[in-house]
């Protein structure tokens, strides 16, 4: 019954006129839509389950790996200094590749190019932990992604994907997160989809997860074929969403319902 109600509500949204982009003064983190109990869980590091992964990431930071027998710390020293503010401007343009890479992609490039190690699998505990540890160093800092002029065409492609209707429900991201935010869908709050806290601990997952995991879940929810992890489309969507959240503080590791 709940699935049927969700489909009916989403289908009704598909027919709604598109709203304008959310004004800067109205942009809100998903944190503001949460219950007091869930907010308290995020706010207190000893209660935040995502901090367990951050601790794992801290251990990985100093662990030597690959044929080069090097650790992240061998190049970047103390992450509390060298990684401060880094996550706030990702995805970033990679000149060698000629395209944007997200933070997970950058970590894997470092593993293959500098540690001469195999890349971590997407959604692996290692990649999530190291990403969360790096992003944790930017907590509280404003998101600055998208400032590089080289990123302009990729931001536009991400915006087009955000607006594009797809799947059996004929919905785009904008139908929920621009047109219907602060409403309810089957009893749950519809947020603005601001990516301020990834990787984050989602109570529904009972685990830490990446922004790409969340995007794939949304795409599957509208009965469309989800893009592969690491695909250009998901990175472009990430990039657009981060530029849409520009100026909002990083919350990693956030907690969400």
Q: Is 89 part of any known ligand binding site?
A: no
Q: Is 218 a catalytic residue?
A: yes
Give the Cα separation of 178 and 175 in Å (integer): 6
CB burial string 8-20: b at 16+ within 10 A, e below: ebbeebeeeeeee
Q: Is 76 part of any known ligand binding site?
A: yes
Question: Are the CB atoms for 208 and 131 separated by under 8 Å?
Answer: no
Q: Is 176 part of any known ligand binding site?
A: yes
| Marked catalytic residue, from 145, 151, 218, 242 | 218
Q: Is 110 part of any known ligand binding site?
A: yes
Q: Is 6 part of any known ligand binding site?
A: no
Question: Which of 169, 197, 162, 201 is closest to 185 using CA atoms?
Answer: 169
Give the Cα separation of 60 and 71 in Å (integer): 8
Burial of 144 (0-12, 13-18, 19+ CB in 10 A): middle
User: Where in the sequence numbering do the catalytic residues fall?
Assistant: 218
> Annotated binding site for heme c, which residues?
72, 75-76, 110, 173, 176-177, 218
> Annotated binding site, which residues?
72, 75-76, 110, 173, 176-177, 214, 218
């Amino acid at each position: 019954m709940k699935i049927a109600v969700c489909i009916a509500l989403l289908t009704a949204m598909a027919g709604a006129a598109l709203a304008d982009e959310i004004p800067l003064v109205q942009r809100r983190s998903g944190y503001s839509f949460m219950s007091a109990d869930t907010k308290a869980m995020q706010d207190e590091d000893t209660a935040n389950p995502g901090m367990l992964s951050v601790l794992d990431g801290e251990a990985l930071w100093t662990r030597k790996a690959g044929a080069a027998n090097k650790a992240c710390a061998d190049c970047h020293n103390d992450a509390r200094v060298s990684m401060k503010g880094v996550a706030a401007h990702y995805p970033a343009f990679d000149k060698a590749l000629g395209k944007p890479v997200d933070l997970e992609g950058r970590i894997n490039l470092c593993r293959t190019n500098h540690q001469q190690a195999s890349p971590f699998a997407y959604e692996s505990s290692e990649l999530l932990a190291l990403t969360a540890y790096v992003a944790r160093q930017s907590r509280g800092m404003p998101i600055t992604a998208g400032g590089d002029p080289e990123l302009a065409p990729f931001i536009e492609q991400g915006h087009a994907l955000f607006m594009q209707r797809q799947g059996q429900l004929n919905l785009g991201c904008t139908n929920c997160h621009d047109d219907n935010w602060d409403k309810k869908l089957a009893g749950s709050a519809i947020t603005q989809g601001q990516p301020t806290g990834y990787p984050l601990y989602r109570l529904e997952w009972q685990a830490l997860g990446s922004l790409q995991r969340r995007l794939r879940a949304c795409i599957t929810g509208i009965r469309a074929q989800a893009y592969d992890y690491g695909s250009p489309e998901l990175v472009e969507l990430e990039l657009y969403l981060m530029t849409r959240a520009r100026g909002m503080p990083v919350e990693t590791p956030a907690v969400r319902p």
